[in-house]
Amino acid sequence: MNFVKKLDLKRIALHCFYWIFFLFFYISNKSDNENYYDFTFIYTFKILAQASVGYGLIYWIIPNTLNKKRYLLFILSALGWLYFIFALLMILKFYYLEPKFPDFFKDWLGHKMTIPERLTSGKLILREFSFITYPVIILGFISFNRKQQRLLKLEEEKKSMELKVLKNQLNPHFLFNTLNNLYILTLKKDDKAPEVIAKLSEILDFVLYRCNEDYVSIEKEITLIENYIALEKLRYSENRLDILFTKDIQQNHKISPLIVLTFIENAFKHGVINETEKAKIRLHLESKKEQIVFSIKNTKPQNDLKTISDKSKIGLENVRKQLDLLYPKKHKLEIEETRNNYTVKLYLIL
Model pLDDT for residues 106-135, shown as the tens digit of each residue: 878 877 889 999 899 888 888 888 888 877
The pLDDT of residue 274 is 66
The most confident of the ranges 130-134, 212-216, 332-336 is 332-336
Name the pLDDT band for 168 (thresholds 50, 70, 90).
low
Q: Is the pLDDT of residue 42 over 60?
A: yes
Q: What is the mean pLDDT of residues 95-103?
A: 86
Query: What mean pLDDT value characterizes the chain?
Result: 79
Of 41-45, 138-142, 292-296, 308-312, give the lowest mean pLDDT range: 308-312
CATH of domain 156-349: 3.30.565.10
Q: Is the pLDDT of residue 3 over 50?
A: no
Q: How many CB atoms lie within 10 A of CB 228?
A: 23
Backbone angles phi, psi at 280, to 5 degrees: -120, 135
The pLDDT of residue 88 is 92
Q: Is the pLDDT of residue 237 over 50?
A: yes
The most confident of the ranges 165-169, 260-264, 295-299 is 295-299
Model pLDDT for residues 294-325, shown as the tens digit of each residue: 999 998 876 655 555 555 566 678 788 888 88
Q: What is the mean pLDDT of residues 259-275?
A: 79
Q: What is the mean pLDDT of residues 4-13?
A: 68
Question: Which of the two residues, 250 and 196, has the higher pLDDT score?
Answer: 250
Model pLDDT for residues 46-64, shown as the tens digit of each residue: 888 888 888 888 888 888 8
Question: Which of the two residues, 199 and 76, has the higher pLDDT score?
Answer: 76
Q: Is the pLDDT of residue 172 over 70?
A: no
The most confident of the ranges 7-11, 107-111, 226-230 is 226-230
Residue pair 182/234 in contact by the 8 Å Cβ criterion: no
Question: Which of the two residues, 245 and 23, has the higher pLDDT score?
Answer: 245
Name the pLDDT band for 220 (thresholds 50, 70, 90).
confident
Predicted TM-score of the model (pTM): 0.53
The pLDDT of residue 199 is 78
- Counting residues of the chain whose pLDDT is more than 90, the rounded percentage is 14
| Alpha carbons within 13 A on the beta-carbon side of 175 | 14
Q: Is the pLDDT of residue 5 over 70?
A: no
Q: Is the pLDDT of residue 347 over 90?
A: yes
Question: Which of the two residues, 69 and 140, has the higher pLDDT score?
Answer: 69
Name the pLDDT band for 151 (thresholds 50, 70, 90).
low
Residue pair 233/226 in contact by the 8 Å Cβ criterion: no
Q: What is the mean pLDDT of residues 159-182?
A: 61
The pLDDT of residue 154 is 57
